[in-house]
């Protein structure tokens, strides 16, 4: 039985205490380097498969220091502090630089926790939108490989078809899931949080170079709740708050079809005129 292409892309091999090796996947290639979501999922996977892991992820912050080059990389995942119910991790991804010496291309921090059952509520309800079956399949007009790994059905704010500078809003809503069936898990959710194209493309209807500098995902669901989603659809919403002097921020919310808020995300993105 062959593993899913996503699991192949985030696969890591332990090489010693806190150390792993992996390699980029052409299936998740972006315009420069791999899709940021697959890189975030890989960093998280280093923590999830660590033998010292306590609980499940609360938050994941990934800083993209440089584009990963196609090929192998090394990952370090260290539990720097373990408390009674929370655990703090520092992760780094390195690749050989021009001189052959290892250079850091990604840094990340992860907080995990042993959750306990308490009073809970979602203050961001699932928006009233058409269901996935009521929307036509959508092919994103993009040559990059990673786009083909997801099935998407936009509700609003699809990528512009005409780049004429007429944009007026940065909000997108779309249903999404893996194109090849795969049960949703924590790594898959981390990747889905980065599916949205740069908000500046929608707000300006102008294609400008842009790339994520740092992104954080806050996990509101654990493995058990994600297992209920299975290969079901996830509704994602993304919008920007401010564009200024070469950088903008982008928030995202992801809900299950049954209305549970699975995660929220915030990232800062570089753009060039």
pLDDT tens digits, residue range 96-138? 988 889 999 999 999 999 999 999 999 999 999 999 999 998 8
pTM above 0.85, yes or no: yes
For the chain, what is the mean pLDDT?
A: 95
Token match 């593993």: residue? 3
Is the CB of residue 174 less than 8 Å from the CB of residue 155? yes
Distance CA 252, CA 230 (A): 21
Distances (CA, A) of 106 to 67, 112, 212: 8, 19, 12
What pLDDT score was predicted for residue 143? 81
Token match 């400008």: residue? 208
Distance CA 257, CA 126 (A): 8
Of 3, 5, 42, the residue nearest 26 (C-alpha): 5
Fold (CATH) for 5-114+133-271: Porin (2.40.160)
Domain boundaries, the chain: 5-114+133-271
Burial class (CB in 10 A: 0-12, 13-18, 19+), 58: middle
Distance CA 19, CA 35 (A): 23
pLDDT tens digits, residue range 154-195? 999 998 888 999 999 999 999 999 999 999 999 999 999 999
pLDDT tens digits, residue range 212-264? 999 999 999 999 999 999 999 999 999 999 999 999 999 999 999 999 999 99
């Amino acid at each position: 039985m062959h593993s899913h292409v996503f699991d192949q892309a985030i696969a890591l091999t332990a090489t010693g205490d806190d150390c792993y090796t992996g390699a980029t996947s052409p299936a998740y290639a972006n315009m420069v380097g791999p899709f940021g979501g697959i890189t975030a999922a890989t960093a998280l996977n280093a923590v999830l498969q660590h033998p010292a892991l306590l609980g499940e992820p609360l938050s994941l912050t990934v800083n993209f220091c440089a584009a990963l080059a196609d090929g192998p990389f090394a990952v370090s995942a260290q539990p720097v502090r373990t408390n009674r119910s929370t655990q703090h991790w520092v992760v780094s991804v390195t690749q050989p630089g021009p001189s052959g010496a290892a250079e850091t291309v990604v840094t990340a921090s992860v907080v995990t926790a042993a959750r306990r059952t308490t009073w809970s509520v979602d203050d961001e309800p699932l928006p009233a939108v058409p269901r996935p079956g009521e929307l036509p399949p959508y092919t994103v007009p993009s040559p990059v490989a990673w786009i083909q790994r997801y099935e998407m059905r936009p509700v609003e704010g699809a990528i512009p078809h005409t780049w004429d500078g007429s944009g007026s809003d940065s909000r997108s809503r779309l249903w999404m899931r893996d194109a090849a069936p795969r049960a949703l898990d924590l790594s898959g959710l981390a990747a889905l949080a980065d599916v949205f194209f740069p908000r500046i493309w929608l707000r300006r209807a102008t294609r400008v170079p842009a790339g994520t500098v740092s992104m954080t995902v806050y996990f509101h669901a654990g493995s058990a709740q994600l297992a209920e989603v299975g290969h079901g659809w996830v509704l994602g919403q993304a919008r920007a708050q401010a564009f200024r002097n070469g950088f903008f921020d982008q928030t995202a919310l992801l809900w299950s079809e049954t209305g549970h808020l699975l995660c929220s995300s915030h990232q800062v993105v570089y753009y060039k005129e």
